[in-house]
Chains A and B, each alone.
Chain A
Amino acid sequence: MMRLLQRRHDLVCQQVVELVSDYLEDALSRSDRKRFEAHLRNCPNCTNYLEQMRATIRATGALQPDDLSPDALQEFTELYRQWSAEGPSGPPVGGD
């Protein structure tokens, strides 16, 4: 009976893949985290899946924005001079 109850609370792979982000964001409850990690210990497929998600996040974090062209930089120099000459006027931008 205990074993049956235990089984019923085990996560299946299809549930695990939906919890991966919350796991990585440390947003799972203690008990869900335990169930998640218990599943991983016995499931090489979900372990691979988690690794793929980690690799995806690392690669996403390595994306560089485009560099600014010298022309655009020059334009900003002129804008800066104009804005600082005008002083802190214009619509409020709000605090942080």
Chain B
Amino acid sequence: METDAELLARLRSGDEGAFMTMVSRYNGSLLRLARTYAPSDAVAEEAVQDTWMGVVRGMERFEGRSSFKTWLFHILMNRARSAGGREHRNLPIGDVEPAVDPARFDAGGAWAQPLGGWEADADDRLVAASWSSTLRDALGQLPQRQREVVILRDVEDLTGQDVCEVLGISEGNQRVLLHRGRSRLRSMLDAELAARGR
């Protein structure tokens, strides 16, 4: 597969095919992120379209200090901020939200009931189609800021530092949001596994 840097070099020389390959590669990822804050699909699609326009018009300014993908997310979120759709740099994160229901622990803070492992084949089953739809729903239920961080860090595999830069949040906030998001996803998957009789 052609690397992003190779595609960008071709794009800079005016290669339309390179642009279409980029769009095919990243449009879905951009839309997924835009949907975390956009009030409708139409608004999300417009934001993503503007992001691509930003790429075509601003590609000479991209110096390769971050990855191309990170730069794309950066353009999208900058646009979201300047459009007022997403205005919450480092707001207080809110009340403490435990990773696990406190009722699951005894008075000493130990698990009240043994916690079983997911079966050995859980990984395969989790990534199978039925699990990815459960996880997609679960991700959709996360509060906006947790969802943004989980998408960028765990779905898109950006570094923690890049996530902070794209979202304009501190490292501490990023980790708290990531922890809460991941913990909720685990707990929703666990409930689903239990409901299906494991």
Contacts and interface: CB of A to CB of B under 8 A. Distances in A.
B185 A94 contact: no
Q: Taking chain A's interface residues, is the majority helix, strand, or loop, or is none over half, making it mixed?
A: helix
A79 B56 CA distance: 10
Contact of B115 (A15, A49, A66, A73): A49
B186 A48 contact: no
Given A59-B131, A60-B150, A60-B185, A96 B29 contact: no
Contacts of B135: 59-60, 63
Given A48-B117, A84-B56, A57 B16 contact: no
Interface string B98-128: 1110100100111100111110001100110
Given A60-B139, A68-B23, A94-B61, A13 B179 contact: no
Contacts of B127: 58-59, 62
B74 A94 contact: yes
Contacts of B98: 14, 17-18
Contacts of A62: 126-127, 132
A80 B29 CA distance: 19
B14 A84 contact: yes
Interface of B: 14, 16, 19-20, 23-24, 27-29, 31-32, 49, 52-58, 60-66, 70-71, 74-75, 78, 98-100, 102, 105, 108-111, 114-118, 122-123, 126-127, 131-132, 135-136, 139, 150, 154-155, 157, 160, 175, 178-179, 182-183, 185-186, 189-190
* 3 nearest CB pairs, A to B: A65-B28, A12-B109, A21-B179
